[in-house]
Amino acid sequence: MRVLVTGGAGFIGANFVQQTVRERPDVDVTVLDALTYAGDRSSLAPVADRITFVEGSVADADLVDGLVAEADAVVHFAAESHNDNSLHDPSPFVRTNLVGTYTLLEAVRRHGVRFHHISTDEVYGDLPLDTPERFTADTPYNPSSPYSSTKAGSDLLVRAWVRSFGVEATISNCSNNYGPYQHVEKFIPRQITNLIDGVRPRLYGAGLNVRDWIHVEDHNAAVWTILERGRVGETYLIGADGETNNLQVVRTLLEIFGRDADDFDHVNDRPGHDLRYAIDASRLRDELGWSPRYTDFRSGLEATVGWYRSNEAWWRPVKAAVEARYAESGQ
């Protein structure tokens, strides 16, 4: 099987490629990645000699057409992925998340190639705190940020291409991932690398916002489950029952680092900050038989801390610039 992985030099994509090479020697992987600030070829170093890497954009129609023509399936991770960045400049979000997805859909339509679209639970907006309510595939779309609205738009494009043109596509909407190779602009790696540097973690607002954490390897195992057993045209929500508020995450990290429980700072909140995400993954669990392996968040976090301690050369070159950008917003 020949799989084209877009965004394979990013956080989830690089983990997907590494896992695939490790566990599925029969799969031939080609990565298409524009190597934006979020892409790093060194995240693919452990498997570099076993994959094909192409630098370029998913919005480049000619390049995409040639690569899709050679593939049996496309797994589409490539995106601008950070909410805070989308509040400063939405334009690359529109180009990559909307135009890029459109470009890929036209190519898979022409060549009759199976497509899996990686999306996010943020398309559903947010939920109140302290209710049992969770997102399902029937929850109405209600995105809050430029990032999540472009992801919502890309999902709708996929649905329309399935219905109108018979494209063989599936969609997955996953909750917040954590694990190795995540960019230090994101919440957990930012706090881990701050703590390594002896800097106090930074909590937006009161820190009561809830995210439904899942280990990146569990997300990627679910993607393979959907590719192999998912129903074409279907949407699958991916989550591992990991609801935790940001304050609890910071307190757990402080404990892992042996620091005082109150050794953090509250900083400016994110405009439009979604309150709570929570996933009902029963379709994926019951129909396709997937279940997560990382069920203990604390030990997953400890392993992630260990990875950032051992891989300082990977994150150090970008850390100062990320912090300078946050400082401009008082965060």
Instruction: Give me the active site residues, please.
Output: 121-122, 147
Residue 209 binds: one of ligand DAU, ligand NAD, none (C-beta under 5 to 8 A by kind): ligand DAU
Based on the shown chain and the rule CB under 6 A, indicate whether residue 144 belongs to the binding site for ligand DAU.
no
- Structure tokens that stand for 194 in this block: 């701050």
Burial class (CB in 10 A: 0-12, 13-18, 19+), 40: buried
Based on the shown chain and the rule CB under 6 A, indicate whether residue 122 belongs to the binding site for ligand DAU.
yes
Rounded to the nearest 5 degrees, what angle is found at the Cα of 106, between the Cα atoms of 104 and 111? 95
Rounded to the nearest 5 degrees, what angle is found at the Cα of 54, between the Cα atoms of 123 and 187? 40
Based on the shown chain and the rule CB under 6 A, indicate whether residue 175 belongs to the binding site for ligand DAU.
yes
Q: Binding segment for ligand NAD among 8-16, 107-115, 286-294, 317-325 (CB under 6 A)?
A: 8-16
Q: Residue with the closest Cβ to ligand NAD? A: 10
Q: Binding segment for ligand DAU among 13-21, 101-109, 204-212, 301-309 (CB under 6 A)?
A: 204-212
With respect to ligand NAD, which residue has the nearer C-beta, 136 or 259? 136
Based on the shown chain and the rule CB under 6 A, indicate whether residue 204 belongs to the binding site for ligand DAU.
yes
Based on the shown chain and the rule CB under 6 A, indicate whether residue 211 belongs to the binding site for ligand DAU.
yes
- Structure tokens that stand for 308 in this block: 């950032």
Give the nearest distance from C-beta 40 to ligand DAU in angstroms. 16
* Residues 259-288 close enough to bind ligand NAD by CB under 6 A: none
Q: How far is CA 194 from the centre of its chain?
A: 22
Based on the shown chain and the rule CB under 6 A, indicate whether residue 221 belongs to the binding site for ligand NAD.
no
Buried b (16+ CB within 10 A) or exposed e, 176-202: bbbbbbbbbbbbbbbbbbbbbeeebbb
Distance (Å, rounded) from C-alpha 91 to C-alpha 16? 27
Which one of 135, 181, 187, 213 is in contact with ligand DAU (CB under 6 A)? 187
Q: Are 221 and 294 in contact (CB under 8 A)?
A: no
Give the nearest distance from C-beta 102 to ligand DAU in angstroms. 19
Which one of 114, 134, 190, 251 is in contact with ligand DAU (CB under 6 A)? 190
| Beta strand residue intervals within the chain, DSSP E | 2-6, 28-33, 52-55, 73-76, 114-120, 169-174, 177-178, 202-204, 210-212, 214-215, 235-238, 243-245, 265-267
Which one of 3, 79, 203, 281 is in contact with ligand NAD (CB under 6 A)? 79
Strand partners, 245: 210
Distance (Å, rounded) from C-alpha 234 to C-alpha 16? 21
Residue 277 binds: one of ligand DAU, ligand NAD, none (C-beta under 5 to 8 A by kind): ligand DAU
Give the nearest distance from C-beta 258 to ligand NAD in angstroms. 27
Q: Read off the DSSP letter of residue 137.
A: T
- Greatest pairwise CA separation for the chain in angstroms: 58
With respect to ligand DAU, which residue has the nearer C-beta, 28 or 122? 122
With respect to ligand NAD, which residue has the nearer C-beta, 143 or 201? 143
Place of tokens 């051992």: 310
Based on the shown chain and the rule CB under 6 A, indicate whether residue 103 belongs to the binding site for ligand NAD.
no
Which one of 176, 193, 220, 225 is in contact with ligand DAU (CB under 6 A)? 176
Distance (Å, rounded) from C-alpha 218 to C-alpha 69? 30
- Structure tokens that stand for 199 in this block: 């800097």
- The count of C-alpha atoms lying within 13 angstroms of the C-alpha of 71, restricted to the half-sphere facing its C-beta, is 28
Based on the shown chain and the rule CB under 6 A, indicate whether residue 30 belongs to the binding site for ligand DAU.
no
Place of tokens 């302290």: 130
Place of tokens 């990382």: 294
Q: Binding segment for ligand NAD among 52-60, 247-255, 289-297, 304-312 (CB under 6 A)?
A: 52-60
Binding stretches for ligand DAU (CB under 6 A): 81-83, 120-122, 175-176, 186-187, 190, 202-204, 209, 211, 246, 270, 277
